[in-house]
A = this chain, B = another copy of it.
């Protein structure tokens, strides 16, 4: 299933391709962006793309990964900051929403298109889930070390926390009405914050 590029792609050329591909993906989504489209925008032939990438999905994943990398970088900064646990969690939510917005933009604008691409998102999400969980776990561990939180099983709690966020997100993303209103991210953020409040209260040191 997994293919790998034959050659190490020059960084400059890579980012150029990803930039142009990302614009197409943002406008038309994965399905309605053809390799010819990207190639044309780049001013090269379709075959040239296949010289650098094994398939279309690989380009899409690379674009996603770039966005993901940016988010993880911000999380790394958070982990190195001196903020208190409640600030850490709300900042995390803030970054998470920004990341979500980037993915949504990158996905497509319509609700139907999102539903169609869902399987791919799911497969990408699976890998990412573990990463996010471990970041949240570190965050919680920090709270414990600082005596701000009770001694809990950080892996279990982090896993559940991320799981609930995902469930809330996917449910809301399936509500067609909110897509049309165009404020899905606002709604999701509100739910995220409410849950975070509850979650935090339940594990705070008394």
Point out the residues of chain B lying under 8 angstroms from A200, CB to CB.
202
- Is A160 positioned at the interface, with any CB of B under 8 Å from its CB? yes
- Given A167-B172, A201-B201, 20 more contacts at CB 8 Å? A160-B191, A160-B194, A160-B195, A163-B168, A163-B191, A166-B171, A167-B167, A167-B170, A167-B171, A170-B171, A170-B174, A171-B171, A197-B202, A198-B198, A198-B203, A199-B202, A200-B202, A201-B202, A201-B203, A206-B206
- Tally A residues with Cβ within 8 Å of B: 21
Point out the residues of chain B lying under 8 angstroms from A163, CB to CB.
168, 191
How far apart sit A206 and B200, CA to CA, in the bound complex (Å)? 15
Point out the residues of chain B lying under 8 angstroms from A198, CB to CB.
160, 198-199, 202-203
- Is A31 positioned at the interface, with any CB of B under 8 Å from its CB? no
CB contact between A164 and one of B168, B170, B203 (< 8 Å): that residue: B168
Q: List 20 A-B contacts (CB under 8 A).
A: A160-B191, A160-B194, A160-B198, A164-B164, A164-B167, A164-B168, A167-B167, A167-B170, A167-B171, A170-B170, A170-B174, A171-B171, A198-B198, A198-B199, A198-B202, A200-B202, A201-B201, A201-B202, A201-B203, A206-B206
Point out the residues of chain B lying under 8 angstroms from A166, CB to CB.
171
How far apart sit A201 and B160, CA to CA, in the bound complex (Å)? 15
